[in-house]
């Protein structure tokens, strides 16, 4: 039983809701990236790309990707260690089939800001980007 030190009465356990938790996407250790392989040109890309962390069995091969279109992925150093399950965590960039609207989700990044060992810049929608 959990007790409060001041009153010695049992404190009530508070249930957390999704509003109590911060919005956090799993972060990859980007210090172990060696290269970024682009499957689509980021300069001519229209709109934003989604950035996510993906578990993979390989450091250098293309990761298996099921949802949406894979646009780029990070290649890891040989010094990268596997986790307990024998997997590597690395960044991938992708586009969902419904990503045609302006604005963007929370994981949206600017495709021209993708670099090795650097965090991507978050997508900021502007009215002039709609005309381009």
User: Could you report the per-residue pLDDT of 98-124, keeping only the tens digit for each?
Assistant: 876 667 788 888 899 999 988 888 887
Report percent pLDDT > 70 for the chain: 70
Among the residue ranges 24-28, 41-45, 106-110, 115-119, the one predicted with the least confidence is 24-28
pTM above 0.75, yes or no: no
Q: In the chain, what is the straight-line distance between the N-terminal and C-terminal CA atoms, in Å?
A: 61
DSSP symbol at 129 = H
Asked if pLDDT for residue 84 goes beyond 70, the answer is yes
For residues 92 and 107, is the Cβ–Cβ distance under 8 A? no
Q: Is 39 left (phi over 0), alpha (psi -120 to 50) or beta?
A: alpha
Q: Give the pLDDT of residue 60.
A: 92
């Amino acid at each position: 039983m959990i007790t409060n030190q001041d009153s010695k009465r049992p404190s009530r356990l508070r249930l957390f809701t999704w509003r109590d938790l911060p919005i956090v996407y799993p972060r990859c250790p980007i210090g172990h990236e060696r290269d970024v392989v682009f499957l689509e040109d980021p300069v001519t890309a229209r709109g934003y790309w989604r950035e996510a962390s993906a578990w993979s069995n390989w450091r250098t091969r293309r990761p298996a990707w099921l949802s949406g279109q894979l646009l780029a992925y990070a290649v890891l150093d040989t010094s990268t260690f596997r986790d307990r399950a024998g997997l590597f965590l690395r960044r991938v960039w992708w586009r969902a089939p419904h990503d045609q609207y302006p604005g963007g989700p929370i994981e949206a990044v600017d495709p021209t800001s993708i670099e090795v060992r650097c965090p991507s810049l978050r997508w900021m929608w502007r009215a002039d980007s709609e005309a381009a």
